[in-house]
Amino acid sequence: MSWTWLRPLLAWVACAGGAAIGYGLGAWVGHPVWMAAAGVSGVVLMLGTHDAVHAHRFIRWLRGPRTVALGDAPGLWSEVFFRAERKLKALEHDLLQEREQRSQFLSAIEASPNGVLLLDESDQIEWCNRVAAEHFGLDVQRDILQRITNLVRVPAFVAYLQGGTWTEPVVVEGRDAASSLSVLVRRYGQDRKIVLSMDITERQRGEAMRRDFVANVSHEIRTPLTVLAGFIETMENLPLTETERQRVLLLMRQQTDRMHVLVADLLTLAQLEGSPRPSLDRWNRLSPLLQRIEADGCTLSAGRHTLAFPADLPVEVAGVEAEILSAVGNLVNNAVRYTPAGGRIEVSWVDHGAGYAALEVRDNGIGIAREHLPRLTERFYRVDGSRSRETGGTGLGLAIVKHVMQRHGGELEVESEPGKGSCFRLVFPSARVRPTTAVQAVPNTFDDRAITR
Ligand code: ADP
């Protein structure tokens, strides 16, 4: 049952009571004017008390958490309570919505892969996302309201921020000297600034590698071209005997062969970079593949080495046959070229179980000093440049091998000791290795792209 009617009734009873008390007091004094005045002031007193009670209730409600409704009030107070409640509810709803929008907006900036930093008019940090904190070495909580230039003292950044000309981004050193950031400042609001940062370390490294690569290729091609130009000039200007002419032609052929191998290796690398990841269901039997490599190795060695290959290897590897052939072929080619005559080159399959299976190419050749090992797979990296070139090397062989193994989810392991020999291991992931099935694998003609060397 609702008791809302009770309060106005009580208020009016109180007013009437007040008037009656006033009138009674007037009667006690014994004068009609005093009686009337006392009655009126009684009413006014009661009405005042009634208003004060409701005003107090209203203020208490406003100050409190406003979790309960104001409830009913008599007369005008009912209207005041109703409108105040409605207005406040609307304001609180708007405020909540604004807060929600703001937090969503900040979470969106937080999720940005780039750094975002908001500065006030005194360059104090108002807000920054985690990426910016990482870029500039800031603490998202602790450094709020700190002046950015007190925390980030990189001279290029400070000069750029204070310079006020922000049409182009500036490249500054990141937290550690090896990293680079591209920083852009924009003005917004009333002299506030937004600082956007992007880590460009990888991009810069890539650009440097590309520059080095082009310089190396140019250098590699220029040498045989210069030699060829010299021979052409010789043939044009000098009367040569037939023997001399044959000798010059042979040397010219060697230079063109060298360029041919270089271009072929470059094309192989480009092909590897642009191809999709080798599929897991194209199985290649290793035995026939190794037979082809053994034949090439024997031709290259020309009887100067002992080559030992497994007689029959009942193993299949999933991937691109031409790439696997190229990787193993490169290792055998290197073993022959870097092993003096009389040396031994042995190819074997190693399966330690527990998912470790590898094809191993071991030689007892010149070996490689420890400090060179981490750089062997860099393009054009050679331990001994002249020996590599003399034996027809391009400096790209191991880069190709590494690339092939990465694409097949495997890796290249190297062990070597100067004067004792080297062991190069192609480690395949277990998902790409299986024993040869009874049914012959379908010849892998589709993937058999021309990969030289
Ligand atoms: P290259 O065409 O010069 O042989 P690679 O990329 O195949 O280029 O090899 C890089 C370098 O690693 C070679 O220049 C050589 O110094 C060294 N190297 C590779 N294989 C062997 C090996 N089996 N024995 C000794 N050194 C090797």
CATH number at residue 159: 3.30.450.20
Instruction: Give the full edge-to-edge strand order of the sheet including 125-128.
Output: 125-128, 115-119, 192-199, 180-188, 170-173
Is 397's C-beta closer than 6 angstroms to any atom of ligand 1? yes
Query: 297 CA distance to ligand 1 centroid (A)?
Result: 15
Map residue 243 onto helix, strand or coil: helix
- Cβ of 334 closer than 6 Å to ligand 1, yes or no, is yes
Pocket test of ligand 1: the residue of 368, 380, 387, 401 to mutate, having most ligand atoms within 8 Å of its CB, is 368
Q: Are 35 and 74 a contacting pair, CB within 8 Å?
A: no
Contact 446, 376 (CB under 8 A): no
pLDDT reported for residue 298: 97
Domain identity same for 155 and 22: no
Q: State the closest ligand 1 atom to the C-alpha of 382, by its place in the atom list counted from 1.
A: 14
- Residue 444, helix vs strand vs coil: coil
Residue 70 has pLDDT above 80, yes or no: no
In terms of C-beta density within 10 A (0-12 exposed, 13-18 middle, 19 or more buried), how is residue 185 classed? Answer: buried
Structure tokens at 184: 């852009």
Is residue 290 located within the same domain as residue 338? yes
Top-ranked range on mean pLDDT: pick from 6-20, 63-77, 236-250:
236-250
Task: Tell me how far apart the alpha carbons of residues 344 and 327 are, in angstroms, rounded to a whole number.
Answer: 20
C-beta of 317 in contact with ligand 1 (< 6 A) = no
Q: What is the share, in percent, of the chain residues with pLDDT greater than 70?
A: 93
In a domain, 402, yes or no: yes
**pLDDT tens digit sequence for 30-47:** 777 777 777 777 777 777
Identify the residue whose tokens are 């500036």: 170
Decide if 451 is inside a domain.
no
Does 332 sit in the ligand 1 pocket, CB within 6 Å?
A: no
Based on the domain organization, do 230 and 213 belong to the same domain?
A: yes
Task: Single out the residue in 199, 233, 255 at which a domain terminates.
Answer: 199
Query: Can you list the pairs that 102-111 forms with residues at least 24 positions away whose Cβ atoms lie under 8 Å?
Result: none
121/178 same-domain check: yes
Pocket lining: 255 vs ligand 1, CB cutoff 6 Å:
no
Q: Is residue 252 one of the residues assigned to a domain? A: yes
pLDDT at 442 over 80: no
Mean pLDDT, residues 45-59 taken together: 81
Reading the block at residue 16, the tokens are 């009437």
Q: Are residues 284 and 375 in the same domain?
A: yes
Ligand 1: distance of its center to the CA of 373 in Å? 10
Per residue in 252-311, pLDDT tens? 999 999 999 999 999 999 999 888 889 999 999 999 999 999 999 999 999 999 999 999
Ligand 1 pocket, 383 CB below 6 A?
Answer: yes
What pLDDT shows up at residue 449? 42
Is pLDDT of 4 > 70? no
Cα 419 to ligand 1 centre (Å): 14
Q: Which residue do the tokens 């003399």 mark?
A: 390
Name the residue of 262, 328, 388, 389 to mutate for ligand 1: max ligand atoms within 8 A of Cβ. Answer: 388
Is 297 close to ligand 1, i.e. is its CB under 6 Å away? no
Domain for residue 1, yes or no?
Answer: no
Q: Are 174 and 201 in contact (CB under 8 A)?
A: yes
Residue 243 in any domain: the answer is: yes
Q: Answer whether 395 contacts ligand 1 (Cβ < 6 A).
A: yes
Which atom of ligand 1 is nearest the CA belonging to 366?
25
Determine the Cα–Cα distance for residues 23 and 43; give it in Å rounded to an integer.
10
Domain of residue 191, residue span: 112-199
With a pLDDT cut of 90, the percent of the chain lying above it is 65
**Residue 431 and residue 286 share a domain:** yes
Nearest CA to ligand 1 atom 7: 397
Query: Does 287 share its domain with 260?
Result: no
- Average model confidence (pLDDT) for the chain? 88
Q: What integer pLDDT is reported at residue 448 of this predicted model?
A: 41
- Same domain as 402, residue 282: yes
Ligand 1 proximity of 359 Cβ (cutoff 6 Å): no
CA distance 375 to 268: 20
Q: Which pLDDT value is given to residue 6? A: 62
Residue 444 counted as domain residue: no
Q: What is the pLDDT of residues 191-205, one digit of tens each?
A: 899 999 999 999 999
Residue 452's pLDDT is what?
A: 45
Which of 328, 373, 382 is the best mutation target for the ligand 1 pocket, counting ligand atoms within 8 Å of the beta carbon and taking the most?
A: 382
Q: Are the CB atoms for 402 and 424 separated by under 8 Å?
A: no
Q: Is the pLDDT of residue 438 over 70?
A: no
By C-alpha distance, which of 399, 404, 403, 398 is closest to 424?
A: 398
- Whether 363 is in the pocket of ligand 1, judged by its Cβ within 6 Å, is yes
Residue 137: inside a domain: yes
pLDDT of residue 441: 46
Same domain, yes or no: 363 and 431? yes
Write down which residue in 39, 71, 100 finishes a domain.
100
Going by their DSSP bridges, the two strands 125-128 and 315-318 should be labelled as unpaired
203: closest CA among 228, 169, 161, 227? Answer: 169
Q: Long-range contacts: 252-258, Cβ < 8 Å, 24+?
A: 252/228, 255/224, 255/225, 255/227, 255/228, 255/231, 256/224, 256/228, 257/392, 258/224, 258/389, 258/392
Number of structural domains the chain divides into: 4
Residue 427: count other Cβ atoms within 10 Å of its Cβ: 19
Q: Would the CB of 388 count as within 6 Å of ligand 1?
A: yes
Domain boundary among 100, 122, 143: 100
Angle at 166 between CA 161 and CA 169, to 5 degrees: 90
Report how far Cα 319 is from the mean position of its chain's Cα atoms: 27
Q: Look-up: residue for tokens 């807000």?
A: 127
Residue 152 and residue 117 in contact, taking contact as beta carbons nearer than 8 Å:
no
Among candidate residues 430, 93, 394, the one with its CA nearest the CA of residue 221: 394
Specify whether 185 is located in the same domain as 247.
no
> Tokens standing for 370?
């420890």
Based on the fold, state whether residues 90 and 120 are members of the same structural domain: no
Q: What is the pLDDT of residue 389?
A: 86
Whether 323 contacts 451, CB under 8 Å: yes
Per residue in 393-428, pLDDT tens? Answer: 999 999 999 999 999 999 999 999 999 999 999 999
- Is residue 333 in contact with ligand 1, taking CB distance under 6 Å? no
CATH number at residue 347: 3.30.565.10
Domain assignment present for residue 450? The answer is no
Name the 3-class secondary structure at 393: coil
Any atom of ligand 1 within 6 Å of the Cβ of 422: yes
65 lies in the same domain as 213: no
Residue nearest to atom 11 of ligand 1 (CA): 382
DSSP-assigned letters across all residues of 128-164: E-HHHHHHHT--TTTTTTSBHHHH---HHHHHHHHH-
Long-range contacts of 185-191 (CB under 8 A, 24+ apart): 185/160, 185/161, 190/121, 191/121
